[in-house]
């Protein structure tokens, strides 16, 4: 239980509703900032405005998956008001207060320099759970943007990380001929073990000559103009890697190859599941933090 733990949920999309629900269930004291237009009446939470007085009382702050933008603005889809997080506000919180965000950037790192910042999307468990709705969203994108079946198509998946592995397995399960690109020999071995066709990333230009679909998960420019120039004109590129993706979109457009950057698929195709994934991990972390604090006092 999180009884007496004061937590502010600041901004975010439908995924945060699952987080709020779970915090209330665990008896936390919940303050909602950036939710003034939310119809759902969470009886156990208070809608509030940013104020120094509130920040002085907080044990934890939960930010949206994206954290803040480089100017400190927090995305608030349930409010028209601009919420800006500053170092001054963060430093009003008690020293033990923890800030939870999906990812971070230089701005957020800087303003939380004197507090603990937890980036939950960096955790393996969250990334692996998140790969499930990501795969479903990827399949949806591919179906929407092709006039041929996945079954029987030649699919190149770039990267055998937490997302790439799930994507490769799912497309193979749908009957695609899946090739997976990696740079480490242990990944090449794993791809073979999975019954898929491995290739080293330095071989990518050759491999792309007859692919129907390319799904990139590598957050670096790997689908270069040279790579795209080798691809058949009907090929589709779906780039899952974080912005700006790993594709030369300018050149793809010039060549007439459809290339789509598809960020945030879990929040798009399955906000409830994605929210439950975040809520489960966040409440576990908050519980550990709260227990450690109670033991200290």
- The residue ranges that bind ligand NAP (CB under 6 A) are 127, 130, 134, 159-164, 183-184, 201, 217-220, 222, 240-242, 262-266
Tell me which H or E stretch contains 285.
helix 271-296
3-class SS at 4? Answer: coil
Q: How far is the CB of 222 from ligand NAP (least distance, A)?
A: 6
For the CB of residue 160, give the shortest distance to ligand NAP in the complex, in Å.
5
Q: How far is the CB of 102 from ligand NAP (least distance, A)?
A: 9
Nearer to ligand NAP, 11 or 266 (CB): 266
End-to-end CA distance of the chain: 17
User: H helices within 145-220, ranges in order?
Assistant: 162-173, 185-193, 204-207
**Burial grade of 103 (CB within 10 A; 0-12, 13-18, 19 or more):** middle
Minimum gap (Å) between residue 45 Cβ and ligand NAP: 28
- Residue 41 Cβ vs ligand NAP, minimum distance, rounded to whole Å: 31
Nearest residue to the partner ligand NAP, using Cβ: 161
Cβ proximity to ligand NAP, 83 vs 168, nearer residue: 168
Is 38 or 158 the residue whose CB approaches ligand NAP more closely? 158
Nearer to ligand NAP, 76 or 217 (CB): 217
Query: What is the Cα–Cα distance from 91 to 241, expressed in whole angstroms?
Result: 33
Q: What is the DSSP letter of 50?
A: -
Residue 259 near residue 247 (C-beta atoms within 8 A): yes
Contact between 273 and 266 under an 8 Å Cβ cutoff? The reply is yes
């Amino acid at each position: 239980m999180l009884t007496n733990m004061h937590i502010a949920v600041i901004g975010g999309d439908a995924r945060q509703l699952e987080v709020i629900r779970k915090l209330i269930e665990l008896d936390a004291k919940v303050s909602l900032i950036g939710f003034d237009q939310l119809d759902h009446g969470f009886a156990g939470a208070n809608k509030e405005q940013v104020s120094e007085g509130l920040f002085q009382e907080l044990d934890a702050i939960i930010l949206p998956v994206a954290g803040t933008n480089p100017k400190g603005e927090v995305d608030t889809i349930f409010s028209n008001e601009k919420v800006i997080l500053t170092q001054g506000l963060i430093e009003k919180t008690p020293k033990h207060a923890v800030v939870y965000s999906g990812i971070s950037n230089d701005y957020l790192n800087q303003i939380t320099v004197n507090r603990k910042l937890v980036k939950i999307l960096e955790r393996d468990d969250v990334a692996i759970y998140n790969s499930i709705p990501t795969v479903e969203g990827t399949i949806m994108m591919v179906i929407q943007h092709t006039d041929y079946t996945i079954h029987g198509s030649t699919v190149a998946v770039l990267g055998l990380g937490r997302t790439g592995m799930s994507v490769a397995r799912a497309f193979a399960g749908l009957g695609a001929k899946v090739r997976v690109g990696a740079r480490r020999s242990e990944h090449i071995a794993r791809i073979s073990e999975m019954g898929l066709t491995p290739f080293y990333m330095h071989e990518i230009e050759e491999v792309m000559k007859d692919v129907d679909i390319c799904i990139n998960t590598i957050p670096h420019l790997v689908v270069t103009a040279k790579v795209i120039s080798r691809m058949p004109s009907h090929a589709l590129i779906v780039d899952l890697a974080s912005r700006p993706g790993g594709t030369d979109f300018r050149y793809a457009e010039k060549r007439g190859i459809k290339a789509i950057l598809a960020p945030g698929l879990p929040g798009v195709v399955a906000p409830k599941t994605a929210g439950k994934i975040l809520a489960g991990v966040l409440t576990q972390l908050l519980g550990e933090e709260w227990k450690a604090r109670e033991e200290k006092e």
